[in-house]
Chains A and B, each alone.
Chain A
Amino acid sequence: METLTELERGNIGPAAAGPVLSVKNLQVQYTAESGNVTAVDGVSFDIGAGEVFGLAGESGCGKSTIANAIMRLLQTPAKITGGSIELAGRNLLDLGEEELRRTRWRDVAMVFQSAMNSLNPVMTIGDQIVDVFTTHEKMSKQAARERAVELLKLVDISPDRLKSYPHQLSGGMRQRAVIAIALALKPSLLIMDEPTTALDVVVQQEIMHQIKELQQQLGFSILFITHDISLMVELSHRMAVMYAGKLVEVAPSKTMLDNPLHPYTNALMGAFPPLTGPRVELIGIPDAPPNMAHPPTGCRFHPRCPLAIDSCRTIEPPLLPGAENHEAACLLVPGYVVPRERSRR
């Protein structure tokens, strides 16, 4: 796209329409025999109406934990130990079991990773969709069946597939069926946790396209979680990168791509070999993400960061403003004065 829309530039969204989702200082801990592990450590972000918000990070960073926390699906030993999650103004952490059940699927729905494998293998697709309607709304089976047909058409599945069992559909079709089921009650927020990871690249492209069309058509917000940044850039309006339980950078997608401020984001972008241009040797990120039971002091990325300075070992930077609507948790963010200037490593 040549010019960024207002939404893409991040100027509309949270402030203007009132956020659909507002996460503030969320903290999630896992209790283990050896001690508590903080998997999500003070994460805050907002998602506006009709906005696609991408959350990128590698395994162990805590992104799936956030998704499960929002849906209140965490099981022991995981527990939300701090912060708030507000969905259209209501704090989800205050809701009781019954209210939660009503909120789930109606206001917020989730598509899990390889959700296509979580379809009930002994029920037809049609029955499973009808199930959603009859469970959550007072509706006759006939009416539910009609709505099911509409839903399938929405995701480009022919209605005669209503009588098919999951194993009779291809992986891509099943994933589309799962997305249809998630959208059945027209939630205002859809959380997608690695929805295309288990799919082939061609099918992946189709699904991504489908999601984009659905989002533009129905106007729901999306929290899109993935480890593949390049996948997310085209779909998301804004993006956040997560590392070791914290957000390290938040920006509109195009800006993040063109001008990453955090060294981790930069390294992550550089980990994808190009399809054009000369062969250049790429350098990944050395070592591995930290053990969350004993995270590094100061900035959590500093042991692996090529630009780390002495202060990085002691100061844990919060998200600092680097440009318009662009924040990064790094002492080297332009304009930020490091308290004690020392020579680089």
Chain B
Amino acid sequence: MSPAYSTSSLPGAATAPLVQVRNLSKDYQLGSFPFRSTVRAVNDVSFDINRGEIVALVGESGSGKSTIARILARLEQPTGGQLILDGQDIFATERRRASMRYRSKVQMVFQDPFGSLNPAHRIEHFLTRPLQLHGENDSPRALKLKLRELMATVGLGEQMLDRYPHQLSGGQRQRVAIARALAVEPEIILADEPTSMLDVSVRIGILNLMRKLRDERGVSMLYITHDLASARYIADTTMVMCAGDLVEGGESIELMAAPHHPYTQLLLSAVPDARRTQTVRPPKRDARGRNAARGTGERITLSKSHWALKVPEPAH
């Protein structure tokens, strides 16, 4: 794989990446005959995720970031591109449906803590099912032990297993969702805006939990978010999406200290940060970096781990 695609500066980057995405595209058909139109939600996106790495995918709504997560979760079929997990070409070997093996390696945490847990089931159900589907036939006692362990890992008490989702707070539900994802001992967790529907003071707890899982268990994560600040907080690498294109990527702190692509700069300037000293006047609506994004798809290498999409020169 060409060095321009490798986005990690972590030690151990010499080992093959866990996930390799190449030229991923997704089109949606809108309207019905004869007024059909095609929307390109994801345009030729390529990136790597290494073992034990948290990669943040940042962008506004409609940028395609959630679509990428859903494609990786095999909830949607891509229009084109390759997905290589652990050296296996996924779309070639399991075209139509994800194998159980895939499901045991790739798990997902959803945005809405109220919608991602079935209100008709107890908490215990959400943790037991993945264990039953993917694990060995555990005796009831072994199962109970595993449940207790899982709950403890995400910081919840065992007594919550008997409760129903509506009896838990948003933060607690999200922890259950994370525990559910952990039950199969995945290699990577796709987290689609896991904190955006939570109270501000609760978010940090969830983000810290995610960091802990990476540090202690080596679980990789693809962290989808629109919030640059939280991406900077937990992600080793940050990638920026704009209207379907991956416009910039690199080590998080470095990228946010020196953003190159105009869209990244726009995004960074728009983040409300009371501590910043300069007040930035937002540019006029038409002059957004968006139109500039559709370039040739060529990347400029800015440093070992920092690259940006080449912005075409304006015609003179």
Contacts and interface: CB of A to CB of B under 8 A. Distances in A.
Q: Do A's and B's CB atoms come within 8 Å in the complex? A: yes
Interface of A: 58-59, 200-206, 208-209, 227-231, 233-234, 257, 267-268, 271-276, 279, 281-286, 288-289
B60 A200 contact: yes
Given A234-B279, A273-B204, A275-B232, 10 more contacts: A58-B201, A201-B270, A202-B60, A202-B267, A204-B272, A229-B274, A272-B229, A274-B232, A284-B208, A288-B172
A202 B270 contact: yes
A209 B204 contact: no
Contact of A271 (B204, B228, B269): B204
Interface string B251-275: 0010011000000001111111111
Interface of B: 60-61, 169, 171-172, 199-205, 207-208, 226-230, 232-233, 253, 256-257, 266-276, 279, 281-282, 285, 288
19 contacts: A58-B200, A201-B60, A202-B270, A203-B60, A206-B285, A209-B282, A230-B272, A231-B272, A257-B275, A272-B200, A273-B207, A273-B229, A273-B232, A274-B273, A274-B275, A275-B256, A275-B271, A276-B275, A279-B253
A230 B207 CA distance: 19
The 9 closest A-B pairs by CB, nearest first: A284-B204, A273-B233, A285-B201, A200-B60, A205-B270, A233-B274, A230-B274, A58-B199, A273-B229
Contact of A283 (B204, B270, B273): B204
B40 to A, nearest CB: 19
Nearest to A257: B274
A214 to B, nearest CB: 15
A271 B203 contact: yes
Nearest to B205: A284
Contact of B272 (A205, A267, A268, A271): A205
Contacts of A275: 228-229, 232, 256, 268, 271, 273, 276
Contact of A282 (B204, B271, B272): B204
A204 B270 contact: yes
B272 A206 contact: no
Contacts of A268: 200-201
Contact of B282 (A206, A233, A234, A279): A206
B2 to A, nearest CB: 30
B270 A274 contact: no
A4 to B, nearest CB: 15
A241 B91 CA distance: 52
Contacts of A257: 274-275
Contacts of B256: 275
A202 B59 CA distance: 10
Nearest to A233: B274
Given A200-B61, A200-B226, A201-B60, A267 B201 contact: yes
Contacts of A282: 204, 208, 233
Contacts of A229: 200, 274
Nearest to A270: B204
A228 B60 contact: no
A271 B275 CA distance: 13
